[in-house]
Chain A
Amino acid sequence: MLILLRHIGTRFLDSRFRGNDEAENPLKKSSVIPAKAGIQRPQTPNSKCDKVELKWILAWLGAGLMAAGAAVVVADDCLRCHQERDRDLVIEWRTGPHNRPGVDCRSCHGERHDGSMAARSRTNDACLGCHPRVVGSYRTSKHGVLVAIEGGRDDYSRSLSDAHYRSPTCAYCHLHLGKHGMSYRVEAKASALRPVQVDITNRLDQRMRPCRDCHSPRFVETWFATGDRMVEIGGMKMREAMAVVQEISRRDPMAALKARIILYRSMLGHLKNVKLGVGHQSPDGQWWHGQAALDGDLLRIKSILHEVLVRPEGG
């Protein structure tokens, strides 16, 4: 028992003091998850902890242990047990896009093994730290709005299936049925820059599954069919702009620089907004931050070529 306590204690102190180099350690940074009503805030490393006195550390340690019989874990610790217990889950994570430097179990589940790890990771707050860009399109969508109105009253200990939530959260669709491979990515059929890939057919079917818990299959199919065409139309605008940029660079490399900045800094972002708008059912993302914004940039690029074409010699 003593050995165990000492082991946990060392881990705890270790992790608290390592909080100092949070800036250099993205892994630590990503584990900071804001608390949601009804869900215990995970104990996160304090960047000022070098000033914390020993008695406070002991008090925290004691309180933490007494409160939930909990232990603070590090990534390897998770896998040591869960590799056996949840083999499929760990394999899904390993083969999925979340298996990347700086992201491990703690990034979403927090560090306290107190029984609320699953619930904590199902809240939207668990995702927003790393995916802030997505927030805009989801936040104003009906789904995002309903989650906000529910204000955490949903029971997040329930599984991510069978419409257990008033409205889908990030995890409900993207980790549907608790699958950790992010296989339920709402992948748009066509992309502006690469052609349709055959091997995503299965994924296209999968992306509709969470929706069907509430919506009719026909609605979901129609939504995505129209959405795919919308994204493809965005791609057409991109390709038309690219052709114009090529023409500009043939005639005037300096002017092409300005056009390229519009193309890659601005238009790519708008196209992404269209995709996110379709996936998150956000009218703003699809239109004002998407198609209407793409229109503006396309004609700005065309205006650059127009000027190059009519500019007098030597002017």
Chain B
Amino acid sequence: MRFSHRQVVIGFCLLLVWPMWVWGDSSASFRGTGEYGGSWRSDPMHGYWDPLTYPRPESSKVKGVFQGEECLECHATLTPGIVQDWRASRHAQGSHPVFCPSCHGQDHEKLFFPTPETCGRCHPQRLEQVEDEKRYGFPSHALAMERVVDSKHFADKPKAEVAACLQCHSVATKCDSCHTRHRFSAAEARRPEACVTCHSGPPHPDDTSYFASPHGVRYLKEGNGWDWSKPLRRGNYPVPTCAGCHMKDGNHQVADKALWKFGIREINPETAENRIKRNRWVKVCGDCHPSKVINEFFHTLDEERGSAWKKLYTVEKILKNLRSDGLLLPNAADRPLYPMDWLARWFPKERIGFLEGQASAFYNVGALERDYFDLWYFTNTGAYKGMAHGAKKMATRFHGRMVEESHAIVVEADRVRTLGKRAKKSDIKPLWTEGEYTRYNRDHN
């Protein structure tokens, strides 16, 4: 059988196109963004979390240009929930309601999702406050999306696996993380519950620490009866909620007081910059507490952080010593690599501690390093959050756990050291670089 030139060219083109067809849903998967953007492609859900970067063209068969009430006519039946919510919102009140097209466009074939900029057209002050966070670096709401896509583990892992990361980090790219659609209620966002969908779980137990604090206990007892339509000003609420302190006076800039960096890195509270930040805190607490009590509180917090870092550094040193002696199991050379980490191919190195990027290295490592990660990222942050939110018992409990976990690591490190010295030669690379998930992880970024 003979092929013409044209057939060969077409066949060759098809061969080129075929992998794209098979591997990527071309309508919904795009090249990644950020520092490692070249190494990964987005998941279709990404378009909902970051609609500006990953717009998904409307696929609805409905054609036409619609105004105000016309949208509601259909959607009251199709999606009654959102219409009811909108009707109950401030957007629906008054003589000039803000109808659907204001945020989604009029042409049903070219509908779009609103971004903070869309909301900022009517709420410029709030947008300005959020944008202002970018001056302060991490942690902040405004830089949350950048934070996630620039993480090596996010870039490396299959995007469906890390889809949940975007769900919270999309606080930078949408306003409905706190003001849920389509009611967009300020009163709702003032409640502590509005924060806990993201501010919960092992690395940032803000929910459990706040609810265990004297502030939170009183909120749980009485909060349902308070008038949440009041702004977050001095004297409007009996005790502060999350937003009461972190977004005082409704200020949407939450990064200017971020002093302790979530407890995951050591900071010196006495630097000029940190003193300014701390003074902002003193002012917030000063609404209710005398300055002596506030200073004592911060002194206790500094002591707690000092004690936590002492524990962490002791363990970190043990791991680093093992690394120096080449006794960490497995060695970096036997581990799967991040796709973008070309340097590590020639100079493999185990990452230990915040500054070396261990925050991304909680998989593709040995059990000992992971145990340290859990101690540092979960138990230590639990102790910090407990103390910072005034739940002292929780802080004490987590410090107790830190001692136990540190001890376990020390014992295990001793064992690994003894074993390592007598270890027999064995090809263990396949164990760490092969396997159903490990292979899938390597091939799907």
Are B45 and A218 neighbours in the complex by a CB distance under 8 Å? Answer: no
CA distance A300 to B362 in the complex (A): 11
A249 on the B face (CB < 8 A)? no
Are B160 and A302 neighbours in the complex by a CB distance under 8 Å? Answer: no
CA distance A217 to B218 in the complex (A): 41
Whole-angstrom distance between the Cβ of B195 and the nearest chain A Cβ: 9
| Residue among B79, B193, B368, B438 making CB contact with A214, cutoff 8 Å | B79
We find that the number of chain B residues with CB closer than 8 angstroms to chain A is 64
B12 on the A face (CB < 8 A)? no
Find the B residue at minimum CB distance from A296: B370
Are A233 and B193 neighbours in the complex by a CB distance under 8 Å? Answer: no
A197 on the B face (CB < 8 A)? no
Are B81 and A214 neighbours in the complex by a CB distance under 8 Å? Answer: yes
Are A243 and B440 neighbours in the complex by a CB distance under 8 Å? Answer: no
A291 partner residues in chain B, CB cutoff 8 A: 161-162, 164
Whole-angstrom distance between the Cβ of A199 and the nearest chain B Cβ: 25
Contacts A212-B79, A296-B374, A306-B329 given; does A226 touch B423 at CB 8 Å:
no
Find the A residue at minimum CB distance from B181: A214
A289 on the B face (CB < 8 A)? yes
Contacts A222-B44, A311-B423 given; does A299 touch B363 at CB 8 Å:
yes
A303 partner residues in chain B, CB cutoff 8 A: 329, 366-368
A309 partner residues in chain B, CB cutoff 8 A: 426, 428, 431
CA distance A163 to B202 in the complex (A): 33
| Residue among B81, B164, B207, B438 making CB contact with A277, cutoff 8 Å | B164
Chain A binding surface, main DSSP class: helix
Contacts A163-B81, A299-B370, A307-B329 given; does A243 touch B423 at CB 8 Å:
no
**Chain A, range 236-295, C-beta contacts under 8 Å to B:** 236-237, 239-240, 243-244, 277, 281-284, 286-292, 295
Interface-centre pick from B43, B162, B163 (highest chain A CB count, 10 A): B163
Contacts A312-B422, A313-B424 given; does A140 touch B28 at CB 8 Å:
no
**Chain B, range 407-445, C-beta contacts under 8 Å to A:** 419, 422-424, 426, 428, 431-432, 435-438, 440
CA distance A236 to B444 in the complex (A): 13
Are A295 and B363 neighbours in the complex by a CB distance under 8 Å? Answer: yes
Find the A residue at minimum CB distance from B378: A288
B224 partner residues in chain A, CB cutoff 8 A: 37, 151
B72 on the A face (CB < 8 A)? no
Are B44 and A225 neighbours in the complex by a CB distance under 8 Å? Answer: yes
A50 on the B face (CB < 8 A)? no
CA distance A216 to B419 in the complex (A): 57
A283 partner residues in chain B, CB cutoff 8 A: 164-165, 167-168, 197-198, 201
Find the A residue at minimum CB distance from B425: A310
Are A302 and B44 neighbours in the complex by a CB distance under 8 Å? Answer: no
Are B160 and A233 neighbours in the complex by a CB distance under 8 Å? Answer: yes
**Chain B, range 360-377, C-beta contacts under 8 Å to A:** 362-368, 370, 373-374
Are A229 and B426 neighbours in the complex by a CB distance under 8 Å? Answer: no
B419 partner residues in chain A, CB cutoff 8 A: 307, 310-311, 315
A72 on the B face (CB < 8 A)? no
A218 partner residues in chain B, CB cutoff 8 A: 56, 59-60
Find the A residue at minimum CB distance from B202: A288
B201 partner residues in chain A, CB cutoff 8 A: 140, 283-284, 287-289
Find the B residue at minimum CB distance from A308: B426
Whole-angstrom distance between the Cβ of A296 and the nearest chain B Cβ: 5
A90 on the B face (CB < 8 A)? no
Interface-centre pick from B164, B363, B374 (highest chain A CB count, 10 A): B164
A61 on the B face (CB < 8 A)? no
A60 partner residues in chain B, CB cutoff 8 A: none
A186 on the B face (CB < 8 A)? no
Are A222 and B197 neighbours in the complex by a CB distance under 8 Å? Answer: no
The contact sample of 11 A-B pairs, CB cut-off 8 A, is: A145-B196, A166-B85, A239-B436, A291-B161, A291-B164, A292-B362, A303-B329, A305-B431, A306-B329, A310-B424, A315-B422
In the A-B complex, the 9 residue pairs with the smallest Cβ-Cβ separation, listed nearest first, are A214-B81, A163-B81, A229-B160, A286-B164, A303-B367, A284-B201, A295-B363, A236-B437, A240-B435
